[in-house]
Chain A
Amino acid sequence: DARVTQTPRHKVTEMGQEVTMRCQPILGHNTVFWYRQTMMQGLELLAYFRNRAPLDDSGMPKDRFSAEMPDATLATLKIQPSEPRDSAVYFCASGSAGTSGTRRGQFFGPGTRLTVL
């Protein structure tokens, strides 16, 4: 049963600390997404990658957030320095862009619950 995995599942840190969240997309998927979910804003797209190249990170605060895909099996989202307003659940999702351009669903990981004190 192929699944997106995320680590850590929970993270509590103090303001100003660096936070790194990791995601392993489903094998064979060529598109990776990072979302943030809060009660107030719902699900927000932060960044997405296709074939490891960043296609859009317009939803991400550039001064403190960064997203990378060092290889096809690992995506990372870093926050440095973290702030209390960054407290949220961060989801990674992966998908498969068909060669014909057919769009298919995005499959979400279990999320990382981040609390910044």
Chain B
Amino acid sequence: GENVEQHPSTLSVQEGDSAVIKCTYSDSASNYFPWYKQELGKGPQLIIDIRSNVGEKKDQRIAVTLNKTAKHFSLHITETQPEDSAVYFCAAIRYDYKLSFGAGTTVTVRA
């Protein structure tokens, strides 16, 4: 099955700096890659996604990039704010609906 690895497991950044989280996947058949943000006591919230026919996608301060050849994708958060502090999960889907999640990255934005 699909195996998604996510790095780093923790990330501390100064407010205003950028944060980058990287994920790799194993199955070249995976073609949809969502990112989730989970705040304490809440369910994961879909924040952005990218499909395998797109290399980059941006939504305000967040962007995702995908390198199909290398089988890795990344989340970039610019101008970080305290409310960006959360656990972020990457995920990948193959031809069915099974989401394979990364282990998560705990992001802390220092004021």
Q: Given A31-B97, A42-B103, A43-B101 in contact, is the A109-B43 Cβ separation under 8 Å? A: yes
In the assembled complex, the Cα of A48 lies from the Cα of B99 at a distance in Å of 11
Whole-angstrom CA separation of A97 from B32 in the bound complex: 13
- On chain A, the residues within 8 Å of B103 by CB distance are 42
- Distance to closest chain B CB from A25 (angstroms): 13
Q: Is the interface of B mostly helix, strand, loop or mixed?
A: strand
Residue of A nearest to B43 (CB): A108
- With most chain B CB atoms within 10 A of its CB, the pick from A33, A42, A43, A48 is A43
Q: Which of A12-20, A77-85, A99-107 contacts B (4 or more CB under 8 A)?
A: A99-107
Cα–Cα, bound, A46→B39 (Å): 22
Residue of B whose beta carbon sits closest to that of A49: B97
| Chain A interface, >50% SS class | strand
Q: How large is the interface on A (under 10, 10 to 19, 20 to 34, 35 or more residues)?
A: 20 to 34
- Mark each residue of chain B from 72 to 111: 1 if its CB lies under 8 Å from any CB of chain A, else 0: 0000000000000000010001001111010110000000
> Once the chains bind, are B42 and A105 in contact (CB under 8 Å)?
no
Distance in angstroms from A67 CB to nearest chain B CB is: 15
Q: Which residues of B contact A (CB under 8 A)?
A: 31-32, 34, 36, 42-46, 49, 51, 89, 93, 96-99, 101, 103-104
Q: 7 A–B contact pairs at CB < 8 A?
A: A45-B98, A55-B96, A93-B43, A103-B93, A103-B97, A110-B42, A111-B43
Contacts A42-B101, A106-B46, A108-B46 aside, 12 further interface pairs with beta carbons under 8 A come to A42-B103, A43-B89, A45-B99, A48-B97, A48-B98, A55-B96, A93-B43, A104-B49, A107-B46, A108-B36, A110-B42, A110-B43
